[in-house]
Amino acid sequence: MYQQIFKHVFSKMDPEKAHHLVHTGITVVGRTPILAGVIEGAFAPYLTRGEGVRVFGRRVPAPFGLAGGFDKDAKAVRGLNMLGFGFVEIGTITAQAQPGNEKPRMWREIEMQALRNRMGFNNEGADVAAAQLHRLRSTPKGRSIFVGVNIGKTKLTPAEEAAEDYAYSARLLAPYADYLVVNVSSPNTPGLRDLQNVDALRPILSAVREAADAATDAVNKARVPLLVKIAPDLADDDVRAVAQLAKELGLAGVGAVNTTINHELGPGGLSGKPELERGLEVVRILRQNLNPEHVIIGSGGISTAQDARRYLDAGANLVQGYTGFIYNGPLWARKINRALLGL
């Protein structure tokens, strides 16, 4: 049924308008407790039953989650959880609200089962996201959802002030996060990927770590695991250098990978099936160069449970996707997680 809806309705709509329509629907249903509970009970009873998987020393209900980019302002977390995602990563969130790049800025590459975007971190800012997360965490169900928070640099912030920009977001959002991700790998903010250089990255990660620790200490919360998300376009030696920096700074792990600019389709980063093989290779390199306790969240090109399993076999602890959600519909997370959990 979903394939017919996609073919005859969504594929004929502007991709960003279709996204807002679906996001709004998921948000509304997720904020209606009776509906959300019924859907979760039908789609994903495994979220509240069974052992799940152990990551960061805690139970994550299922290993497959939603990647950052779909829910930029933390408004649809409950609704996304009811669809069967084991965890939800929100963002990317910047310190200041920003509209993102001019439109059009999202394109479907249907024959490739891919998306291309140059959104530019459009979001309502860290203060708004913190308020949304406070609302979520004020309920027992909201506290039980495993939520990652992905933070990026405000476009207008000069590179030399990036550390404090990231730290501002971390200070506000860490008390509500089950893990924090520093995003320095989107291709759609000018100069952002230059921050993946270890010399530029070190002060940013140190500032975020200090800000997150101070914020969580203030609310008697355990230290929030901190990860950095990298691009698939890094050279192998640069991937190894990031792994060494993660060990040096005591990071919890690395997210791999973001969208790729290694294509000739037009502006923006490409996500979806074309990323799969490089994403797997980056995860293998990271696992070879990180310690066993370091967590790798693998993403890029996951469409099926078999794709997700390949990431886990390559060394990832958790896996996540976004583009496949667009092409496969509301039962996608349920299907993958049931397979990974052996249900």
| Residue 72 labelled as part of a binding site | yes
With bands split at pLDDT 50, 70 and 90, how would you rate the model's confidence at 78? very high
| Residue 229 labelled as part of a binding site | yes
Whether the predicted pLDDT of 192 surpasses 80 = no
| Residue 259 labelled as part of a binding site | yes
Is there a contact between 65 and 86 (Cβ–Cβ < 8 Å)?
yes
Give me the torsion for CA of 65, 72, 57, 137, rounded to 10°.
Answer: -110
| Residue 183 labelled as part of a binding site | yes
Scanning the structure block, which residue is given the tokens 């590179």?
159
Domains in the chain: how many in total?
1
Q: Give the amino acid at 58.
A: R
Q: Which of 46-60, 185-199, 254-268 has the lowest mean pLDDT?
A: 185-199
Structure tokens at 236: 């192998």
Q: Is the pTM of this model over 0.75?
A: yes
The pLDDT assigned to 251 comes to 96
Model confidence pLDDT, tens digit, residues 204-227: 999 999 999 999 998 888 999 999
What residues contact residue 24 under an 8 Å CB cut-off, 6+ apart?
none
With bands split at pLDDT 50, 70 and 90, how would you rate the model's confidence at 139? very high
Please tell me which residue in 169, 185, 186, 271 is annotated as part of the active site.
186
Q: Are strands 147-151 and 64-66 parallel, antiparallel or unpaired?
A: unpaired
Structure tokens at 108: 């479907």
What residues contact residue 334 under an 8 Å CB cut-off, 6+ apart?
43, 44, 83, 84
Rounded Cα distance, 19 and 159, in Å = 31
Instruction: Tell me what the mean pLDDT of segment 4-8 comes to.
Output: 93
The mean of the pLDDT values for the chain is 96
Rounded Cα distance, 195 and 161, in Å = 12
The pLDDT assigned to 187 comes to 83
With bands split at pLDDT 50, 70 and 90, how would you rate the model's confidence at 327? very high
Cis status of the peptide bond prior to 257, with omega within 30 of 0: yes
What residues contact residue 97 under an 8 Å CB cut-off, 6+ apart?
123, 124, 125, 128
| Residue 154 labelled as part of a binding site | no
What residues contact residue 186 under an 8 Å CB cut-off, 6+ apart?
92, 121, 152, 192, 193, 258, 259, 269
Q: 32: domain CATH number?
A: 3.20.20.70
With bands split at pLDDT 50, 70 and 90, how would you rate the model's confidence at 150? very high
Q: Give the amino acid at 273.
A: K
* 169 annotated active-site: no
With bands split at pLDDT 50, 70 and 90, how would you rate the model's confidence at 194? confident
Instruction: Tell me what the mean pLDDT of segment 188-207 comes to.
Output: 87
Whether the predicted pLDDT of 124 surpasses 80 = yes
Structure tokens at 6: 């996609």
> Which DSSP letter does residue 316 get?
-
Which residues form the domain of 87? 2-340
Whether the predicted pLDDT of 148 surpasses 80 = yes
Rounded Cα distance, 157 and 167, in Å = 13
